[in-house]
Every structure is written in C-alpha cells, then in structure tokens.
Structure 1
Amino acid sequence: MNLAGKAVVVTGAGRGLGAAYARLAAAEGAAVLVNDVDADLADGVVAEIRAAGGTAAGFAGSVADWDAAGAIIGACVEAFGAIDGLVNNAGIFRLANPAEQDPDEFRAVLEVNVLGTAYCGLHAIRAMLPRGSGSIVNVTSGSHAGSAAMGAYGASKGAVASLTYCWAADLAGSGVRVNAVSPNAHTRMADAYEAYLGAAAQGQNVAKPPAQNAPAVVYLLSDAAAGLHGQIVRIDGDELSMVAHPTVQGHGTLNPAWTVSSVAAAFAAGEVGPLSPVGLHRA
C-alpha cells in the first residue's frame, strides 16, 4: 500500500492511461479524485475503484479553465481533507502537416496540454506548500524531441517538460516534488497516430497496455521517490529509463567578436560541438 493515507487527483482519468493511473493509485491505498471532462466516464472509473474496495470520488471539469482547475483541486481537499498528489494526465492529440495545420486545433492542444497542466499544478502547489509535502507528476512525451505531424502536440509536451524543470527549481527544499513521465501505450491516441501515418506506424503500441505505465506513476507519487525531483521517467513497454535534460554539447569555442564569417568557420571546423539528430534517441 504505497499510497496509504494519501489523497491524489488524476486528471483526464475517464479512460486510457489516466484510468490506469487512478485504478492503481487506489489499489495502493490512495483516495483518488477522478477528473474528466466527461462526467459519465469519470463516474465509471469511480464505480470500478469502489467495487474493488478502494476510495474514490469523481469531478467533471476542464483543466484548461483556471477556475475549473481550482475546483478540481478543491474537490479533492473537500472530499478527502487534503491533496498529496496530482497526476497531470489530461491532454488532447491532433496530427497535422504544418502546411495544413488548423490554427484552432493548434490552440486547443496548447490550452489543454500546457495551460491545463499549469493551472492544475499551480492550484495544487498552493495547497501543498503550507503542508510542506506533495508530489506532482506531469505527463510529457518523447514527441517533444521531434516527431512528424506532431507540431502542436510535441510543442505542448516540450512545454510540459520545461515546466517540470522550472517548478523543480522553484520548489527545491519545499517538500513539494515535481517530476514527469513519458509514457507509451496503445490508446485512442495511438490508434489516431497509426491511422494518420498508415503503414509506417502500424502496430507500434499494440503490446503496450496502459496499465503497464501505472507503476512508475504511483512510485513517483509515493514517499519511496522522495529523492526524485525535476526528473523525466520514460516507460516504453517493458523498458523503464530516464530522459536527459537539455544539455550544452561539447565545450564550444570562444571568440570575443563573432561575425557571420567566423561563426560559419567555426561550424565548418567542427569547433561548435556535435549536431543533434531529430527525435528521441538513446545516448
């Protein structure tokens, strides 16, 4: 019972990965506030948790609205007396070639994935700080390193990664921890990705059920992960690994008065540092 006595919010938990996180958190002893924009989906997961002997309540609302995000966190405090953990799982997914990108869809992805994560996190941090404890788990994606047709989604998940690093710096020593997970599972999102890219993407996530990602999330919520702060944990099927923070490559080269020509010469001589491939790669 790694989460015994803790109260946890999981956003976007009506199905898929979020539902898997909520179910395991409850099975590990947490009282879980199940959030989704669809009240029926949230209530369905609550019913499953209660039927299994766990404690849960549902709350419908959009994370992309500041007041609604506050109400989600407040509902956890009202129902269970506190908030000890938040999983910022809610997100939407749109695929598009840049030449065909719908601006309204781009905005919607950023509002839910970035602002929704930020709004819920900010409300949770303000509730956690007076108690000197708490764990926030954001959800990013390997697509933030570069993936075809994922400009909006990848940008949103890159922002979530940066938000994780910044909040970790802000909250150092406060007792409130912020980490992120980069999950991979066969969900509706994977189906949409495969349908859009066709044969090039078929079957990538078939053997990766959402529940396979849940133990890492529960670990980050638990006191066992007290030493982790500002980290991104990657789960890809049966592999658990870490995603490196952005780094400055090599040692660079110095010039007190750079010009366009001297910059070009430095690149031509290989003095600037190695170039990075696009996409998520193993170091």
Structure 2
Amino acid sequence: MSLNGRVAIVTGSGGGLGRAHAVYLARQGARLVVNDVSQDAAERVAREIAAAGGEAIAFAASVTDEAAVATMVAGAMEAWGRIDILVNNAGILRDKSFAKMSMDDFRLVVNVHLMGAAICSKAVWEIMREQRHGRIVMTTSSSGLYGNFGQANYGAAKMALVGLMQTLALEGEKYGIKVNCLAPTAATQMTHGVLSEASLRALDPALVSPALLVLTGDDAPTRTVLCAGAGHFATANVTLSQGCYIGGAEDAGELAIAHWNEISDRSGEIVPGYGFVQAERELASAGTLAPVMEARR
C-alpha cells in the first residue's frame, strides 16, 4: 500500500476509467474523493471502496463549476486535512467531422476537459504548495497527441492539457508538486462505437490504472506523458529537431523549402527542458547570446 495515508481526488470517477482509477488508488492505500456529475454514481463507487476496506467520500459536481469544486476541495480538507493527488479524468465526447461540428460542441468539450482540469488544479494548487507535496495527473489522449478523424474538439482539448501539464510541472517543481499526463486506451462509454468489440474486450480500464502508481508515488516523474492500455506502457514526447540556420534574407522562404530535409531531420532531436529552449537555440544559431531561463523564474 505505497499510497497509504495519501488523499486523492479523481474526477469523473462514477464509472468507467475513473471508477477503475479510484478503486485502484484505494487499494494502494489512498483515501478517495469520488467525484462525478451523478451523486448516485459517485456514492456507488464510494460504497464499493468502503466495502473493500478503504475510505472514500462521494461528491457530485461538474468540474466546470468553480464554486462546487471549491466546496469539494474544502470537504476533503475538512475530512482528512490534506490533498495529495488530483486525477483530472472527467470528460465528454461530441464527435463529428469539423465541417459538421458546431462551435457550441467545440466549446463544450474544451470547457469540460481543459477548463475543468484547470479549475480543479487551481483549487488544490495552494494546498499542495503549502504541503510542499502534490501529484496532478492530466488525462490526455492519442487523439490530441496525433489527431483522430471527427475529434477536432476533443483532440484540441487533450493536446492543450499537455501544454498545461508542461507549465504546471515547471511552476510546481520547487514545491514538490509533480504534474504528468496519462494517455489511456480503455473500453468506456466514450469509446463504444469507436473501437471493435474484440478491442473493447481487451481494453479493460483496470489495465490502465496501474499507470497512476508511477505518476503519483513518491518517486514519480514530472512532465511525462505516459501512454497505457491493454497492459502496454509507453511514453510520448514533444521533440525539437536540430534544424538549420536560414537567416532573414529576401529568399528565406525559398531557402527553407530547399533545406526542408535538414530542417525536419529527426536525428539528434531533443526533448526541451522548457519552452524557451527553442528561442535559445534560434538565438545561438543567429550568433546572439541566448538569455538564461533561470533568470525568468
């Protein structure tokens, strides 16, 4: 029980992958806040955890409701005095090709996935800073990392969560807050109709949840995108190629086309430690002394 004594909030955990996450974390010793938009669903999972010898409280709230999220966090603090883990799992789908997608459906999906995760993370951020310990897991997706037909809204929201993770990990580092992304592949209500029945049977959500032990334990990494499904684990990275210096002459566009193979050559690519690495490399290539990132912190 390596998470013994830790307090975890899992959003959207009234069923599917979120339920699997909550049950798994409880088995590892964590005390759970089971969040869902349905009080009945949240209470059902909380009872399941309690019946197995764990501790859990249920709280119904939309992750987009700042006041309700604040009340949920206050309830966890009143019950247990700390919050160690937040798993931003809540989400919805409104799949259509971009040509047929309404902007209302685009906004709704971005609001739940991105703004919901931001609202919940903000609600626990000061608590974790004061504790000098925290673990936040964003739920990204291969649809965001690599694209998927009919999921422009979902993909945009999921890739945005990677950007949120990158910055929060940098800002939380000196406070002991580690922030990562989980990219799951699991058979849930959201994937029925997308995958074959055979694939759905193989993609038991319970096979994803062990990834949370990696991302929430004492030795957790930070700024990692961990992909998990069907018992398989991998990491994904946003990389930067070595590129080449073209300069700013009148024919810079034509030169960039001519040197495209060199610009896009992935040999020697890196995973930047922070976003300003791109500018530092560009300035160094241009012969200008690059600023030091530490001065910006």
Deviations 1:60-86 (A, max 9, x none): 001012222222222211222210111
Aligned to 2:27: 27
> Does structure 2 conserve the Cα–Cα contact (< 8 Å) formed by 1:266 and 1:272?
no
Aligned pairs for 1:163-242 (under 5 A) are 163-194=164-195, 203-225=198-220, 228-242=221-235
Which residue pairs with 1:280 in the alignment? none
In the superposition, the TM-score normalised over structure 2's length comes to 0.85
Residues 184 and 227 of structure 2 are in contact (CA less than 8 Å); yes or no, is this contact kept in structure 1?
A: yes
CA contact (8 A) 2:208 2:231 kept: no
Secondary structure of 1:191's partner? coil
Letter in 1 for 2:239: T
| Inter-partner Cα distance in structure 1 for 2:84 and 2:259 | 53
1:203-227, Cα deviation, whole Å (9 max, x unpaired): 44430100001111133112132xx
- Of 245, 254, 266 in structure 2, the residue corresponding to residue 253 of structure 1 is 245
Gaps of 5+ in 1: 195-200, 277-283
- Per the TM alignment, residue 13 of structure 1 is displaced from its structure 2 partner at its CA by 0.2
Q: 2:185, 2:229 within 8 Å by CA — same for their partners in 1? A: yes
Partner of residue 262, structure 1: 252
How far apart in 2 are the matches of 1:103 and 1:3?
Answer: 42
Distance 1:249 1:64, change over 3 A: same
Could you report, residue by residue, the CA deviation over 1:29-87 in whole angstroms, capped at 9, with x for unpaired residues?
11100000000000000010011111000000010122222222222112222101110
Cα shift at 1:271: 4.9
Q: What's the CA shift for 1:272?
A: 5.1
Would you say the 8 A contact 2:246–2:252 is kept in 1? Answer: no
Matched to 1:209, the amino acid is D
Match of 2:276?
none
Would the aligned equivalents of 1:164 and 1:179 in 2 still touch at CA under 8 Å?
Answer: yes
The structural deviation recorded for 1:269 is 3.8
Alignment deviations for residues 223-252 of structure 1 (CA, whole Å, 9 cap, x no partner): 132xx11111110212111111x2222322
In structure 2, stretches of 5+ residues that fail to align are 267-297
Q: State how far apart, in whole Å, the 2-side matches of 1:141 and 1:275 are.
A: 26
Match of 2:289 in 1: none
Counting only pairs closer than 5 Å after superposition, residues 1-283 of structure 1 correspond to structure 2 as 1-144=1-144, 145-194=146-195, 203-225=198-220, 228-244=221-237, 246-257=238-249, 259=250, 261-271=251-261, 273-274=263-264
Alpha carbons of structure 1 residues 42 and 117: separation in structure 2 relative to 1, 3 Å: same
Structure 1, residues 76-131: CA drift from partner, whole Å, max 9, x if none?
Answer: 11222210111010111121111100221111101100000000001111111111
- State the secondary structure of the residue aligned to 1:190: coil
Q: Is the 8 A contact 2:187 2:200 kept in 1?
A: yes
Cα pair 1:253 1:271 within 8 Å, conserved: no
SS at the partner of 2:117? helix
* Partner SS state of residue 239, structure 2: coil
Q: How many residues align?
A: 265
Give the Cα separation in 1 of the matches to 2:69 and 2:108: 16
Q: Compute the TM-score of the two structures, normalised by the length of structure 1.
A: 0.89
Identical aligned residues as a percent: 34
Post-superposition CA distance 1:4-36 (Å, at most 9, x none): 011110000000110001001111111100000
Task: Report the more deviating stretch, 98-107 or 247-256.
Answer: 247-256
**Distance in 2, Cα, partners of 1:129 & 1:270:** 45
CA distance in 1, matches of 2:87, 2:93: 18
Is the deviation greater in 51-60 or in 265-274?
265-274
- State how far apart, in whole Å, the 2-side matches of 1:275 and 1:237 are: 33
Alpha-carbon contact 1:137-1:181 (below 8 Å) kept: yes
CA distance in 2, matches of 1:82, 1:94: 35
CA–CA distance in structure 1, aligned partners of residues 194 and 94 of structure 2: 9
- Find the aligned partners of 1:76 and 1:243 in 2 and give their Cα distance: 33
Larger RCO (CA under 8 A, 6+ residues apart): 1
Q: What letter corresponds to residue 157 of structure 1 in structure 2?
A: K
The one-letter amino acid of 1:8's match is: A
Residue identity opposite 2:241 in structure 1: Q
